[in-house]
């Protein structure tokens, strides 16, 4: 069983947190911004803005940010597929 290592990003002092965020892949910043209001505010304060964002909503939500000076990033998928055709509650992760 693979267990992801925990990293206390939101507990770091501001200068160190900014340095960590500066080296992160932008798609991971998008993922982190969905975790909480505080995480979103921290990511927004980094001021890395996409030229455009492509969003396709079907059985799967497809999000693709595009940046002016970067190679297009990997796609970010939020899967909400439900095999039983009922509603499905999507919950945020308990930790990052």
* Arithmetic mean of pLDDT, 82-90: 62
Mean pLDDT (the chain) is: 73
Instruction: Please determine, for residue 67, whether its predicted confidence score (pLDDT) is greater than 70.
Output: no
pLDDT surpasses 70 at 96: no
Map out the domains of the chain as residue ranges.
Answer: 11-79
DSSP secondary structure string for all residues of the chain = ---PPP--GGGS-HHHHHHHHHTS-HHHHHHHHTT-HHHHHHHHHT----SEEEEEESSEEEEEEE-TTSPPPPPEEEE---TTSS-------S--
pLDDT of residue 2: 64
- 2-13: per-residue pLDDT in tens? 666 788 888 889
What's the pLDDT tens digit per position in 23-65?
887 778 878 888 889 888 888 887 766 778 778 877 777 777 6
């Amino acid at each position: 069983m693979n267990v992801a290592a925990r990293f206390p990003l939101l507990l770091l002092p501001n200068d160190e947190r900014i340095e960590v965020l500066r080296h992160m892949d932008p798609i991971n910043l998008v993922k982190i911004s969905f975790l909480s209001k505080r995480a979103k505010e921290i990511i927004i304060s980094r001021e890395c803005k996409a030229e455009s964002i492509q969003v396709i909503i079907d059985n799967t939500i497809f999000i693709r940010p595009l940046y002016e000076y970067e190679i297009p990033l990997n796609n970010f998928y939020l899967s909400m597929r439900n095999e039983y055709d009922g509603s499905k509650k999507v919950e945020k992760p308990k930790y990052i």
